[in-house]
Amino acid sequence: MKIALIAHDHKKNEMIQFTTAFKNELTKHDLFSTGTTGKRIMEETSLNIHRFQSGPLGGDQQIGALIAQNEMDLVLFFKDPLTAQPHEPDVTALIRLCDVYKIPLATNMATAEVLLKGLSRGDFEWRHLVRGEGDKND
């Protein structure tokens, strides 16, 4: 599965804690991230991550493009609801794309944990069908 990891500045430490806790599960998947978040995760966890631009410089839109091309399976976006973001329209567009293309999205650690535990149980096999890959259990 292809997983996007994004975190606003005040949520980056939470993302580090989360990716550290779920490192064993995350190593099984292709990881993508916005620039600064990805750099911090790689430094702290040694996970292999494809990094895009920083969010305010277009990284959110780069991940959104993958969603629109059906190339992303899960988005973990730890948003900071208490701080205004200069690139809020990009954030809103990314969330909208997840809704349009039926991509599971977590905006906080609690929901992210539920989604990753479901992923480890095999609850996301439907994504293979959506991508036209057939049943991976055959």
Q: Using CA atoms, how far apart are residues 26 and 128, in angstroms rounded to an integer?
A: 18
Asked if residue 98 is part of any domain, the answer here is yes
Tell me which residue range forms the domain holding 81.
8-130
| Least confident stretch, 46-50, 56-60, 98-102, 130-134 | 130-134
Asked whether residue 13 is domain-assigned, the answer is: yes
Cα–Cα distance between 80 and 72 in angstroms, integer?
22
Q: Any idea what the CATH number is for the domain that residue 113 is in?
A: 3.40.50.1380
Instruction: Give me Rg for the CA atoms of the chain.
Output: 14
Amino acid 133 reads E
Tokens of 95: 């969330």
Is it the case that residue 138 has pLDDT exceeding 50?
Answer: no
Amino acid 86: pLDDT: 77
User: What is the spatial distance between Cα 46 and Cα 114, in angstroms, rounded to a whole number?
Assistant: 23
pLDDT above 50: residue 91? yes
Residues contacting 25, CB < 8 A, separation 6+: 116, 119, 120
Q: How many folded domains does the chain comprise?
A: 1
pLDDT of 47: 97
Query: How far apart, in whole angstroms, are the C-alpha atoms of residue 71 and residue 21?
Result: 25
Q: What pTM value is reported for the model?
A: 0.91
Residue 1 belongs to some domain of the structure = no
* 60: annotated active-site residue: yes
pLDDT tens across 11-32, in order?
999 999 999 999 999 999 999 9
Alpha-carbon distance of 108 to 37, in angstroms, equals: 15
Spot the catalytic one: 30, 60, 99, 138.
Answer: 60
Q: Is 136 within a domain?
A: no
Per-residue pLDDT at 122: 87
At 121, which helix (H) or strand (E)?
Answer: helix 109-121
Contact 90, 135 (CB under 8 A): no
